[in-house]
Structure 1
């Protein structure tokens, strides 16, 4: 059963009741089905319906899948879903969010063919298709990914090939493998035990739109995945045909229809892919659109952009060597040329427009330009007037402007009319031009210009060269723009190889207009009211220039190392904030910074972090081992821990977009007996010794998950035996009471030195500086406030912060001064100096 929706979509319903929309582009919603065909109408007479007799209806319109190239009647598609169950090549991975790296290979996608071109991969012989349209014989079996074809006989195609992995054939360097694109679980698909933490009171954080897909690339040397943006309506019917060709040769999910939301979604999705290249299929405006989105997304290293010219002028494509228009060149050749292309830089210029309030508009116009960035050229005067007339005529009668030849004929007629009217012969009388601060208006008057052109690339107006090279060389990346004056006599001569009047080469310009003047930016024209326009360099964009046949091949690309910060959270922070990535990152504490290549797996990154942070792998009784795990902060809506056993499967880009976050999860500690004795001596001292400095007790502990009020009662009463038993039974030493006080707070307040020592050796390092909710005080605050001198010494030796302030702005030293304990205050003051200045001698030491 088939029907059309109100929007014109074809909807089919199978015998089981399943309804499905026939799509020509991939579905990126949560309802996306892996292996869904991409159907487009076809009129090819030689292709038979993939549903064979007697199930084939043999009537009605036919559709062709652009991804696997099978043909089927619309009325036969439900049978293809139910009975044949033949799916298209998979374009993504639909697995558990933690399992996307367990199998990164892609099997062949075999399709039966009743006709095929080329030769058999095994025997090298051609495929002989029968001429009869009634023949249902399958002559070939081919893969939709690598395009390898085999005769449908055992001698050429063995059964073992069905399970073989595909290497994607000639386009392997450009294809994004399906294993890189991961469909994320829906919001409610997590286990019920992973309950969402409540929002904090007063939080102004807005819920973000959940992602449906994410790209997890495998960094591979020499691979240059290509992202294609294309408007099916551009170039007459060329755009629609090219869209289907790209979907056949590449992964359809790396080919984007610009009419469905523009390039932002695709660029944002693939921004972490190393070696990424972009191909903009359209006119110069399409390239400018892509470059503007790259600016907004903020790539650290923007991907280079190539051009497949489908517009009218295509000046940027000409300047980069891609030609003046696409002429049915095989797409496979274009993909090869894109992979081998050189990367060049293009100056991009910013236009700042201010209204000139001293003059009134002479006709209806606008106060802003259609674009504020110049990629190709910016001009005003007669040429902009012609471009504006063309734009208005095309808007009124679009059916008359469906070919490049007709468009150029219109420009010729409009130019001839202006040649007779000479409407803009007095342009220099209503314009003031400054280049690099120097007034060049007199040069405009002397040349009697009818138009002023700021040229950023060598090509203009469909391939002309208005700049005279004898006046200086042109370059797209020198930070200099060429200023050319044109008259109505010079405009037609440009097509015959002539040039305009060279006014200047400058790094900035200022234009002051005193009447409404037509202007254009990269072909987008308007009438601009009297204004003050400033032109200055914005940035440099990487573009792909076609490599000529006699040029040497590019050297093999290398992966540049990246520098990332490593931050740490403890279990209580992770449990409280795992559903809010921003909050988790805000409470994480910096550990170190590492420099590593993107293709290094997490297993090697772990060793590097341990080395940078001074940790050692346990090999004997004199060393200690720190056990921690990586936190994935970018894959799903919530954060989750990466299994240590799977670290060899993951890369840095798989778990983070910015900083690496690790979780101190479970730790073991070993020391020599001498070390333990020295620590015990320091911690058990009842007197304040001037020689006592901060002793770093980096004593790792297991962080458990079960809170208990018994832990707090034992710490308050000083019952060390009970506290030890609770800890060994799995109860957390990070338990807090209603006021936010920990066991260390209570033990320090009541002066239980043995409990304090046990908590310092066994508890989490975060205990030291945890603050209560009422006063914002640490355990050291409590010990100082209650004159617990020995406890203060133990906490300071363990590394407690002496500069921490409570809600009243008081440090532990100031609290000691407040209760008139001058000896304790003097000791804390000297230790503050040691914490801030290291081993330098203070002027006054107790």
Structure 2
């Protein structure tokens, strides 16, 4: 195995042993430390007399000498790491105050805002991680001692993983004060633990000026697995191939996310005490130095010391004011800065399935956990009250439109001045307000780091909010209804207020769900219920008489006769342009001089009516009947009618409803970010025109490879070339791509290619770690120069990926360019199509291996190629080339079986195809694995397309990794896994490579494959560890 030449930061005992991962003192002195049950302590008293003396003398002189030498070298390092991110803050808690007294209290999954909050407390969430080692280290891992599977938890703030049983071991402090002394080691202290605390989220108050600037230092954490590159040397963090490896590959800061190799050349001692820049989102993060815990005053002690005062007038008045104000254990003392935009995040974990809970944990990793609030733990009021005096405060609401309304109502109640602007991360179903503010119709897979940047850079706009005042209509004389109510579910609306058909459907769904909640746990089933209810209401005509039972007056103008003439079945008072999951019922009244385009900040509300026909056309771009734009509405109903306020339905008794403007809320609108534009001192202008290659990716490749950008590029299929202005947005690019498809349809095609489906979307390939999808509703916000200047990738969810008969150059002779030179380098096999006109032209001028690859990906369908498509000259040469190819293939397989490396290289340099298959479907890799030749496996991996890794042979359906695992070739398994071989793929017997290793009785290989298999499955979650 290849190992780094540079030595680790600290040799035995290592840095991980001293500070975070292992307990060096217990490990080195394990022979002398009392084992569980070896020394009984009764009654909570220390053992006295000869027994104690003999216990102390049990440490040998050799051990004592070694410990003394080791300690002198390591004490400064231990103290420095212990200080990292913690002890630099003034007036830290004493050791005794940090001891765990209640075992259950040591496992918290929420932030503790009480006066008993522990400094550096972890925030534990359930995790299915099985590959990571327990952070307490093997010496004190209870699960390892018990030798059984135990549940694990993961800290959301620093991303360490520990067994549930080991968490107390991780956080417990020494029972004696020996650890605090510089000249002793608690070798005989059975309660000694590593004391690794989480990144600090607050500080203690003291007599110094609490507004005095205090630096935040790094919070260094060891990682056995780390993505990204080292900040010092710029190289990646190699994953060492070693079974049950305990090697620490990286040291990273959980504040700024900087990561370094665990080498002296990359990470040095002085970096431990350096001030932390907090990272890319420093402007949004609330530093722990702003959040101060204040202790409750001990009035009895103070009064006894101040009895001799002659006057108590001023003191008593101050005391009375303090007693009238509720005491809170935490206060916020910000240091105002025009560059800071501190962010409060409110997450509704019930929105979007399990998305809310995962997003809550992710924001605790990116930000200070004390600026992230779980709305299921008491709502937003306390958090808003705590941060009300923070300058330039911004709020991010993660949930549906109802969650946003909840936050805005709390802001009204607290009367914050100025009111902080609110951004939206849509997790609900409709998300019409989020769509209006350009945040999209739902959260897909955009990195949260990028969302934070959008929140920071977003524009503050105003949103009208409307009052609903309801009075009973005493003159209606309607029959009483048990299900009716005289109050609306909300007295303020931000999106819309409606009555009639849509409210009736929503009300039936709401009542059915309350009666049988277990039947409505599926989003698809809910949609089917909506559709069925809407259809039945349509047939029954439940709202056809709506116009006969309402009276509408807008700014003094009676619209009742117009409503009756149109026979409207639904009436909507709309504040924002979006309605019913993204439709635009007001439309674009540019040709209608009586109405203005709709705005959400003009103080006017739009009144729209719907017939059943206009409701049906909404989903295809239609609009309703525009009735009025007004400032006040009086709506009178004469019978119980279904109504809904921002999606909350009820059956309202006959009433008189007054709608009037309440106020305007500040909102954050997502805007276009010109991140790729040159700086002011950069004289390079944006190019007038951009020539951009367009390549498409299938959904299966995207889901499997979107964290491996290089492999995803290799798997992409060229579509053609577009030429667009340099300042184009993605909407413009979409139009060019659609025209490209139309032009390709009219050309005489050399090969048949699948057209784009209507559901395709753009992919952003500029992020450091992965590709992610761009919501179609947000294409106008993204400039093409932001996501690429040379190539655009698009995701086509309906692209068919299939294997065809064209698996070799000889099977598709029309794709071979006779004048092209033979392959003469290792890179030519991985060369991607560089298209300047179309996929067909590009493929005609490219090499045969690429054609073979595209045939596999579904761009080429051999069965659709007619005889007229073949050129006569190539048809005549077909039989000759086929026989030559067969001879080459036989020679390749023979030299691989014989381990003739020299012959293999010669054939490859002459143009032999390394992707050749034999009659049983075995690749050259299959044969190289069977021969047990590490050199040949490495050579083929370096020079052949990565598609070979998951090709299955016909007899058993096994991949090369299956075969290597069956033969217990550990090193070859490592090569294949590192090259990207799938660990989840099963053979015809349903076995994974891990199962094959188990059947071969190689337990260590099976454990390694299981570890890597799980790593592939959780890779998306753990990517946030890297920067």
TM-score (norm 1): 0.62
Structure-2 separation of matches of 1:16 and 1:490: 65
Q: Does 1:499 align with 2:623?
A: yes
Quote how far apart the aligned CAs of 1:16 are: 7.2
Quote how far apart the aligned CAs of 1:398 are: 3.4
Q: Does 1:170 align with 2:280?
A: yes
Q: Does 1:340 align with 2:340?
A: no
The equivalent of 2:394 in structure 1 is: 277
Structure-2 separation of matches of 1:403 and 1:307: 24
The equivalent of 2:581 in structure 1 is: 462
- The range that moved more, 214-223 or 318-327, is 214-223
Quote how far apart the aligned CAs of 1:131 are: 4.0
Contact 1:415/1:488, CA 8 A, preserved across alignment: no
The equivalent of 1:183 in structure 2 is: 293
Q: Does 1:96 align with 2:206?
A: yes
Q: Give the paired residue count.
A: 544
The equivalent of 1:112 in structure 2 is: 222
Q: Does 1:513 align with 2:632?
A: no
Quote how far apart the aligned CAs of 1:205 are: 10
Contact 2:107/2:167, CA 8 A, preserved across alignment: no
Contact 1:507/1:536, CA 8 A, preserved across alignment: yes
SS across alignment from 1:112:
strand
The equivalent of 1:481 in structure 2 is: 605
Q: Does 1:371 align with 2:490?
A: yes
Of 16, 39, 52, 2:137 maps to 52
Contact 1:15/1:78, CA 8 A, preserved across alignment: no
Instruction: Please list the CA deviations of residues 59-85 of structure 1 after superposition, one character each: whole Å capped at 9, or x if unmatched.
Output: 411110000000001111111122010
Contact 1:341/1:544, CA 8 A, preserved across alignment: yes
Q: Does 1:69 align with 2:159?
A: yes
The equivalent of 2:572 in structure 1 is: 453
Contact 1:25/1:252, CA 8 A, preserved across alignment: no
Structure-2 separation of matches of 1:17 and 1:549: 51
Structure-1 separation of matches of 2:348 and 2:335: 29
SS across alignment from 1:170:
coil
Structure-2 separation of matches of 1:252 and 1:103: 21
SS across alignment from 1:519:
strand
The equivalent of 1:393 in structure 2 is: 512
The equivalent of 2:170 in structure 1 is: 80
Quote how far apart the aligned CAs of 1:97 are: 5.9
The equivalent of 2:648 in structure 1 is: 524
The equivalent of 1:675 in structure 2 is: none
Of 469, 472, 475, 1:355 maps to 472
SS across alignment from 1:489:
helix
Instruction: Please list the CA deviations of residues 759-792 of structure 1 after superposition, one character each: whole Å capped at 9, or x if unmatched.
Output: xxxxxxxxxxxxxxxxxxxxxxxxxxxxxxxxxx
SS across alignment from 2:204:
coil
Q: Does 1:546 align with 2:663?
A: no
Instruction: Please list the CA deviations of residues 665-693 of structure 1 after superposition, one character each: whole Å capped at 9, or x if unmatched.
Output: xxxxxxxxxxxxxxxxxxxxxxxxxxxxx
SS across alignment from 2:564:
helix
SS across alignment from 1:145:
coil
The equivalent of 1:824 in structure 2 is: none
Q: Does 1:418 align with 2:503?
A: no
Structure-2 separation of matches of 1:15 and 1:101: 29
SS across alignment from 1:33:
coil
SS across alignment from 1:383:
helix
Contact 1:23/1:39, CA 8 A, preserved across alignment: yes
Contact 1:171/1:335, CA 8 A, preserved across alignment: yes
Describe the shift of the 1:542–1:75 C-alpha distance in structure 2 as closer, same or farther (beyond 3 A). same
Structure-2 separation of matches of 1:103 and 1:94: 14
Q: Does 1:129 align with 2:246?
A: no
Quote how far apart the aligned CAs of 1:199 are: 6.3
TM-score (norm 2): 0.51
Structure-1 separation of matches of 2:378 and 2:223: 36
Q: C-alpha root-mean-square deviation of aligned residues, in Å? A: 2.6
Quote how far apart the aligned CAs of 1:44 are: 1.6
Structure-2 separation of matches of 1:552 and 1:343: 23
SS across alignment from 1:60:
coil
Quote how far apart the aligned CAs of 1:133 are: 5.3
The equivalent of 2:248 in structure 1 is: 138
Structure-2 separation of matches of 1:509 and 1:311: 29
Structure 2, unmatched stretches of 5+, are 1-35, 37-96, 173-192, 590-594, 681-1027
Quote how far apart the aligned CAs of 1:545 are: 0.8
The equivalent of 1:431 in structure 2 is: 550
Instruction: Please list the CA deviations of residues 547-601 of structure 1 after superposition, one character each: whole Å capped at 9, or x if unmatched.
Output: 0247999x99xxxxxxxxxxxxxxxxxxxxxxxxxxxxxxxxxxxxxxxxxxxxx
Quote how far apart the aligned CAs of 1:489 are: 2.8
Quote how far apart the aligned CAs of 1:415 are: 1.4
SS across alignment from 1:537:
strand
Contact 2:106/2:167, CA 8 A, preserved across alignment: no
Quote how far apart the aligned CAs of 1:394 are: 2.5
Structure-1 separation of matches of 2:353 and 2:474: 44
Instruction: Please list the CA deviations of residues 87-108 of structure 1 after superposition, one character each: whole Å capped at 9, or x if unmatched.
Output: 0000011132654334521110
Contact 1:468/1:502, CA 8 A, preserved across alignment: no
Structure 1, unmatched stretches of 5+, are 2-12, 557-846
The equivalent of 1:321 in structure 2 is: 438
